[in-house]
Structure 1
Amino acid sequence: MYDYAIAWEWLSFAVRWLHVITAIAWIGSSFYFIALDLGLVKRPGLPVGAYGEEWQVHGGGFYHIQKYLVAPAQMPEHLTWFKWESYVTWLSGFAMLAVVYYGGADLFLIDRHLLDVSVPVAILISMASLSIGWICYDLLCKSPLGKNTWGLMAILFVLLVIMAWGYTQIFTGRAAFLHLGAFTATIMSANVFFIIIPNQKIVVADLIAGRTPDPKYGVIAKQRSLHNNYLTLPVIFFMLSNHYPMAFATQFNWIIAGLVFLMGVTIRHWFNTVHARKGEPHWTWLLTALLFIAIMWLSTAPKVLTGETETSQLAPGFERFRDDTHFAKAAEAVAGRCSMCHAAEPVWEGIVLPPKGVVLDNDVAIAMHARDIYLQAGRSHAMPPGNVTEMTTAERKLLAAWYESAISGKTIQ
C-alpha cells in the first residue's frame, strides 16, 4: 500500500507538470496570434490576397509576417500547424482529473451532504457534463444566434454561470471549480479539434486541388478563436483555485465564478484593444479591481447576506492562539476531525504522509496553523474534503470564534 500510494502521488505530480507545460505552450501561442492578428497593418504593395503585415523584432532578429484572410495563391512548401498544444493540454488535464479527482473521489470529488452518490455515478456525471457543455455551445454557434459574436458570448456567459451553480450543488467546492475550468477548457480545445483545424484543412485541400477556398471557413475559425481568447484567463483561475478555499469553498462560490469570467473579459479587452492600436482603455482595470473586491467581499459572507459577522484575517504569532479561551475546544475539534490525515502517521486509507506536510496532532502545531484551520475549516468548508469526518456547523463556528477572539484579544460568545 505504501509503494502504491507513493507511485500514485508521483503520477499525480507528473500529469500536473505535463498539463502546466502544455497549457503554457497553448496559451502562449494563442495570445501571440491574437496580438499578431490585431496588430496587422494594411500597406500598399502587399501580395495579392494579403490582408496585412507586421514587422517584429525578437532574439536579435527581425520577423516579417503577412496574413492572408483566406489563403495565398499557392500552397507553401512548409506549413506549421498549431494544434498539438491544445490537444495535449486537454488530454493531460483530463488525465489529471482522472488521477486526482476520480482516483480520490471520496475525498475530492463527492460531497455526500450535497449529493450522496457512488463513485462510478459521480464520475459519469463529471464526464457527461463536459460533453454536454461542448454540444450546447456548438449548437448555439451554428444557430442563427451564432452570427452575432458578442451576443453569443453573452449567452455563453449565462450558460457558464448556470454550470457554476450546478457544479456547486453536486460536487465539493474544490471539484466544482476544477470542473468549471475543465468544462470551459473542453469547449476551447473542441473548438480547435472540431472546427478550427478541420476548416483549415478544407482550405489547404482546396489550394492543393487548385480551387479557390471559401472565405466562410476562416470567418468561422476566427470567431471560435476569439471565444477561446476571452475564456483563457478564467480557466487559469479555476485551475489554480484549488489552493484558495476562500474562492471555492464559500457560500457564494458560484457567484464568484461568474465574476471571474467577467474579469477575464475585462482584462483581455484591454490587451486586445492595445494590440489593435485602438487606444488604452484603462477603465477596464478599474472595473477588474472592483470585480475582484466584490469577490473578496462575497468570500467572507458578510452580515448583510448571511447574518454572520465580518472577520479579520491577520496572522499574528501563534502564542495567542494557544492561550485563547476557546483553544481547548477548538483543539478537540481538530483532533477529532482532522488528525486522521494531518498526523505524523496518518490513519486514513491511502494517505501515508500528512497532506502538504501539515501535522495537527499536538497543541503547538494546531496553534501554529490557526490561520489555515480558520480559512479551510472555519470560514469555508474546504476541509475536511467532502466533510468525510462529519465536522458539524457548531464545530466550524467554534474554530472561527477561536481564531477571531485570538486576533481581537476579546472573548467571543
Structure 2
Amino acid sequence: MEAYLSEWLSLLVRWFHVIAGVAWIGASFYFVWLDNHLREPPDWKKQKGIKGDLWAIHGGGFYEVAKYKLGPEQMPKELHWFKWEAYATWLSGMLLLFVVYYMGSPGYLIDLSKAQLSSGAAIAIGLGSLLGVMVIYEALIRSPLSANGKAFGLVLFAILVVVSWGLFQVFSGRGAYIHVGAVIGTIMVANVFLGIIPAQRALVNAVANNEEPGERVAKLAALAKLRSTHNNYLTLPVIFIMISNHYPLLYSHPHGWAVLAAIGFITAYARHYFNLRHQDVNKPSILVIAAALTVALIWAIAPSPPASSTADSGQAAVTDSTVNALLESHCIACHAAEPSHPAFQAAPAGIALDDLSLLAQHRDKVRQSAVNSHYMPLGNTTGMTEEERAQLGRWLDASR
C-alpha cells in the first residue's frame, strides 16, 4: 500500500508541476514575444506615456496591447501580476525532488559505484548545490559583468558545466541531470523573486504615490529586464532536463555531463534564433547550426553495434537457465508483474521480465539500459558484473 500511495503522490505532484511549468514558461515566451513586437505608437498615445503598442487577434476577437514607458496617469483598480506560476513551478519541483529522489528509491539518486553516500549526505549535496549556484549567480548579476551579455553567458555556462561534472562524480546520471535542472530552475525563480517582482513593486509604488520613478527604479527595471532575458534563454534547457529522466541513453552515458552541456548549449542557441526573429532579424543559419550540432551529438554518443554472433565470435552460447538466474538476481525484484521491491507497485515503465519471452520482447530497451548504458539495475545496488552484462547482451542478440 505504501508503494501504491507513493506512486499516486508522485503522479499528482508531477502533473501539477508540469501544469505550473507550462503556465510559467508560456507566460515567459509570450511576454518576450510581446516586447519584441511592440511598435512605435501614434502621437496621441505617446502623449499618454505609451512606449509601444500592437494589435492581435485571438479567440474570435481583436486585442489592443499597449506598454507604458513608466506608468499610466492613474493606477488601475485591477493589476495582474505574473509570479505565482514561477513560485508554483519551483515549489512543486522541489516537492517532486523530495518524493522521487530523496524519499523514493535510493537508486534514482545514489550510485554506489561512484560514491558511498548516505541519503542524508546525498540530500545535503543536492540542496547545497542549488543554494551555492544561486548565491554565485546573484553575485554575478549584481556585478559589472552583467553589463556584458556574452561574457556573462559564457561564465554562467562554464559554471553550469562544472556543476554538471561535479554532480556526475557523486550521483547517478539521472540524479545528476535532475539536480542540474533544479539548479537552473532555482536561478530562474530567484530572478523572479529577487529581481523582477521587486522592480515591478517599486514602479507600482511610484505610480500609486504620483511620484516620478527615479534612477533607482530605472536601474531595478533594467536589471529585471536582464533577468527576464536570462530566464528566456534557460527555458529550453530546463524543459529538456524535465523530460530527460525517461531517456537513459543520455544521462547514463559515461560522459553524461558533457552530453548535458552540449544539449544546454544547443537548446539555448536555438532559442536565440526565435528571440532575434521576434525583432525581425531572421538568421536561419542559427537553426541549421543547432540541427547540425544535434546530429553530431547523436552520432557521437551512439552505442557500438552489437558484437558478432556467438558462433562467429567463438564464445560459448548463453543458456536460458543462466539468463533466468541473472534476471532473478538483478531484475525481477522490480521488473515483475508483482514487484517485491518496496518502492514499486508495478513494473517500472511497464517492463516485466518474469518470463524469457518478455525479455525478448523488450530486448532493445533492456540492451540500452542494462548492457549499453549500465543504467540498470538502479545504482547497481545488486552488483551486476561486466561479465553478466556481456552474457545478457549475447543472449539478447541470439534471441533475435
- TM-score, with normalisation over the residues of structure 2? 0.92
| Matches for 1:242-257 after TM superposition, within 5 Å | 242-257=245-260
Q: Does 1:343 align with 2:341?
A: no
> What stretches of structure 2 of length at least 5 have no aligned partner?
308-315
Q: What CA distance in whole angstroms lies between the structure 1 residues aligned with 2:346 and 2:80?
A: 46
Q: Given residue 38 of structure 1, which amino acid in structure 2 is its aligned partner? A: N
Q: Secondary structure at the match of 1:243?
A: coil
| Corresponding residue of 1:305 | none
Q: Secondary structure at the match of 1:55?
A: strand
Q: What CA distance in whole angstroms lies between the structure 1 residues aligned with 2:152 and 2:69?
A: 23
| Corresponding residue of 1:318 | none
Q: Does 1:376 align with 2:379?
A: no
| Matches for 1:114-129 after TM superposition, within 5 Å | 114-129=114-129
| Post-superposition offset of 1:51 | 2.1
| Post-superposition offset of 1:284 | 1.6
| Corresponding residue of 1:235 | 238
Q: Given residue 297 of structure 1, which amino acid in structure 2 is its aligned partner? A: W
In terms of mean alpha carbon deviation, does 72-81 or 398-407 score higher? Answer: 398-407
2:206, 2:212 within 8 Å by CA — same for their partners in 1? yes
Structure 1 counterpart of 2:298, from 277, 281, 296:
296
Q: What CA distance in whole angstroms lies between the structure 2 residues aligned with 1:374 and 1:69?
A: 59
| Corresponding residue of 2:172 | 172
Aligned length: 386
Q: What CA distance in whole angstroms lies between the structure 1 residues aligned with 2:258 and 2:269?
A: 17
Cα deviation code 1:308-352 (max 9, x no counterpart):
xx2269xxxxxxxxxx94463445433321111112332223333
| Corresponding residue of 1:262 | 265
Cα deviation code 1:142-191 (max 9, x no counterpart):
11111112221111111111111111111111111111111101100111
| Corresponding residue of 1:99 | 99
In terms of mean alpha carbon deviation, does 143-152 or 67-76 score higher? Answer: 67-76
| Matches for 1:197-346 after TM superposition, within 5 Å | 197-213=197-213, 214-279=217-282, 281-300=283-302, 310-311=304-305, 325-326=317-318, 328=320, 329-346=322-339
| Distance change >3 Å, CA 401–CA 137, structure 1 → 2 | farther
Q: Given residue 179 of structure 2, which amino acid in structure 1 is its aligned partner? A: H
1:12, 1:100 within 8 Å by CA — same for their partners in 2? yes
> What stretches of structure 1 of length at least 5 have no aligned partner?
302-309, 314-323, 408-413
1:343, 1:360 within 8 Å by CA — same for their partners in 2? yes
Q: What CA distance in whole angstroms lies between the structure 2 residues aligned with 1:402 and 1:380?
A: 17
| Corresponding residue of 1:133 | 133
Q: What CA distance in whole angstroms lies between the structure 1 residues aligned with 2:141 and 2:218?
A: 17
2:173, 2:252 within 8 Å by CA — same for their partners in 1? yes
| Post-superposition offset of 1:404 | 4.9
In terms of mean alpha carbon deviation, does 57-66 or 354-363 score higher? Answer: 354-363
Q: Does 1:194 align with 2:194?
A: yes
1:253, 1:299 within 8 Å by CA — same for their partners in 2? no
In terms of mean alpha carbon deviation, does 170-179 or 291-300 score higher? Answer: 291-300
Q: Does 1:355 align with 2:348?
A: yes
Q: Given residue 253 of structure 1, which amino acid in structure 2 is its aligned partner? A: G
In terms of mean alpha carbon deviation, does 327-336 or 286-295 score higher? Answer: 327-336
Structure 2 counterpart of 1:37, from 25, 29, 35:
35
Q: What CA distance in whole angstroms lies between the structure 2 residues aligned with 1:403 and 1:204?
A: 66
**What percentage of aligned pairs have identical amino acids?**
41
1:251, 1:299 within 8 Å by CA — same for their partners in 2? no
Q: Does 1:88 align with 2:88?
A: yes
Q: Given residue 186 of structure 1, which amino acid in structure 2 is its aligned partner? A: T
| Post-superposition offset of 1:10 | 0.4
Q: Given residue 229 of structure 2, which amino acid in structure 1 is its aligned partner? A: L
Q: Secondary structure at the match of 1:215?
A: helix
What RMSD in Å do the two structures reach over aligned CA positions?
1.9
Q: Secondary structure at the match of 1:181?
A: helix
